[in-house]
Amino acid sequence: VLELLPDGVPLHLMLPWVEAVVQAGTQAKRNMAVVKHLRRAENLAVREELARLKSGRVVLSSERACCLCFKRIGPAVFVAYPDMTLAHYLCHKRSQPSAAHVPGAGNLLGGSGLSAGLSLAGLVGSAGLPANGRKATSRPYTGGYAGGNDGYDYPDLL
């Protein structure tokens, strides 16, 4: 900008304006750096919470039953609800459109946000609660014994 000024303009008259412009630019840059670091810290906190919730495990024994049809889970593909209950994947899918008739067991994680959006099996949950009050995973748990011998390859969607 100073190069565009005519040669006859004394620089001491422009000094207050130049100082104000430089200070405003420096302040804006510092404010953006603070916002950037706050967002980075928030992102790291969310990633840490996600990793903590994904590290959860579901214990599957021969006695564990589906909370929707009350049959044993066995080697079937299943979903894990945050309240530690399990359901066959197909039972869960069938209960989604008209889940009002299924009694809910509550959501131990409660509320909304990241904690309520993840299951204890470490799978990303659905965005909203179905009518039965449960928040289920959006894909079946495929680790361990369940779903391992059925001949299907379940890709990791995360």
Q: What is the pLDDT of residues 71-87, one digit of tens each?
A: 999 888 988 887 888 99
141, β-bridge pairs = 78
Instruction: Give how far the C-alpha of residue 10 lies from the chain's centroid of Cα atoms, to the nearest Å.
Output: 59
**Of 21-25, 50-54, 95-99, highest mean pLDDT:** 21-25
With vertex at residue 116, the alpha carbon angle to CA 111 and CA 117, rounded to the nearest 5 degrees, is 140
The residue extents of the domains of the chain are 9-54, 57-158
pLDDT at 84: 83
Who contacts 56 (Cβ-Cβ below 8 Å, separation ≥6)?
119, 120, 121, 122
**Of 30-39, 52-61, 144-153, highest mean pLDDT:** 30-39
* Angstrom distance (rounded) from CA 50 to CA 119: 10
Residue 14 has pLDDT above 70, yes or no: yes
pLDDT grade, residue 129 (50/70/90)?
Answer: very low
Lowest-pLDDT range of 50-54, 91-95, 112-116: 112-116
Secondary structure (DSSP) of 34-99: HHHHHHHHHHHHHHHHHHHHHT------TT-BBTTT--B-TTS-EEE-TTS-EEEHHHHHHHTTTG
Name the percent of the chain lying above pLDDT 90: 32
pLDDT grade, residue 98 (50/70/90)?
Answer: low
> CA nearest 123: which of 67, 70, 55, 62?
55
